[in-house]
Copies of this chain bind each other. A is one copy, B any other.
Amino acid sequence: MKFEELVKSSGEWLRADGPECGIVISSRVRLARNLFSFRFESHISSEEKENVADLVKEAVLSTSYARELCWFDLESLTELERHLLLERHLISREQEESAGARGVVVNEPETLSIMVNEEDHLRLQSLRSGLQLEDAYEQLSSIDDELAKKLDYAFDEEFGYLTACPTNVGTGMRVSVMVHLPALVMSGHIEKAFNAVHDLRLAVRGLYGEGTEAHGEFYQISNQITIGRSEEDILADLKAVIEGIVNYEKKARERLLGREPMKLEDKVWRAYSTLKNARLISSDETMRHLSSVRLGAQLGMLPELELKTLNTIFLYIQPAHLQKLEGKELPPEERDLVRARYIREHLS
């Protein structure tokens, strides 16, 4: 797969056919792994980085998954292309912005990505539509087992997997779920929901991980504890919390529909018509409206709209995607114009 094919292809999570996909956009599991014979990224030399990249690349491309995998060398990609990978959640901001030999292995449905020379030597990640934590983990676990036979993982009998940052030591596992909670936000119950999440020592973040803001009522919820518990327990706990939040959001939607249907319909139709008619629109504003439209589509107010269409817009209106589609770099004002046109074309 060439980079240009990746630009036009769409990942499995975009199809929006996973369980609870109305509220759960995607599930993600990632494992942090390091190689015993190399220093952590914070102390590594650029020569060692190259060695790590070569070793890992060779190992990955000799697993049973090799045929469906593709290696992207981040050093040889442009800034725009790296940013596109970030927008797709295939690499992290850390990996986008760092320097030296680093890359990412991606499979065609974009359910799997293996970052090399991120904060850890390896970050294996599986991304799925809807609430599919077990499936995501299974895929990851299987390739992780194969790699463990080929690579000398830094593993300690007492601590488990050793990682660059102590917050990942143990399982090295971070499970995160992207949820869309417009009714909880509108009804003012989101704080209460998140307080419960924090009490369970889970983290709530914006769309692009740590330190980013929530746009358009989309949030990431993830585990903070990686040590002292099995992978299965971490998965099961997070799954239970998400199921609770999903139900909470569903009830909030019913209440909104029951109490102020017109106010809700007004918000949805204004958002939808703005997306369908604006000639200039920022990505922030688009996110806000997509959030309302997504809710409206699920409540049957905009019956002709498929979630898949909304997910596609959600992905392609981001700066790097837009610029790649246009085939050139664009200043922000021109992006607003191209974005508005893209949305109009895809909503009608």
Closest to A280 in B: B266
Which residues in B have their C-beta under 8 angstroms from that of A265?
Answer: 279
Q: 8 Å CB contacts to B: which residues of A252-301?
A: 262-263, 265-266, 269-270, 272-274, 276-280
Bound CA–CA A277/B268 (angstroms) = 9
The answer to the question of A148 belonging to the interface, with a C-beta cut-off of 8 Å to chain B, is: no
Which residues in B have their C-beta under 8 angstroms from that of A262?
Answer: 279-280, 337
Give which listed residue, B269, B270, B277, B337, contacts A272 with CB less than 8 A.
B277
Give which listed residue, B263, B273, B279, B340, contacts A274 with CB less than 8 A.
B273
Bound CA–CA A18/B127 (angstroms) = 64
Closest to A263 in B: B280
Bound CA–CA A262/B337 (angstroms) = 8
Which residues in B have their C-beta under 8 angstroms from that of A279?
Answer: 262-263, 265-266, 269
Which residues in B have their C-beta under 8 angstroms from that of A340?
Answer: 266
Bound CA–CA A239/B69 (angstroms) = 77
Instruction: Please determine whether B273 and A276 come into contact, CB atoms closer than 8 angstroms.
Output: yes
Closest to A276 in B: B273
Bound CA–CA A265/B336 (angstroms) = 13
Closest to A337 in B: B262
Would you give the shortest CB distance from A259 to chain B, in whole angstroms? 13
Bound CA–CA A340/B265 (angstroms) = 12
Bound CA–CA A51/B105 (angstroms) = 96
Bound CA–CA A274/B278 (angstroms) = 10
Q: 8 Å CB contacts to B: which residues of A25-82?
A: none
6 cross-chain pairs, A with B, having the tightest CB-CB distances, nearest first:
A266-B279, A273-B277, A273-B273, A269-B277, A266-B280, A265-B279
> Can you report 13 A-B residue pairs in the complex whose CB atoms are below 8 A from each other?
A262-B279, A262-B280, A263-B280, A265-B279, A266-B278, A266-B279, A266-B280, A269-B277, A269-B279, A270-B274, A273-B273, A273-B276, A273-B277
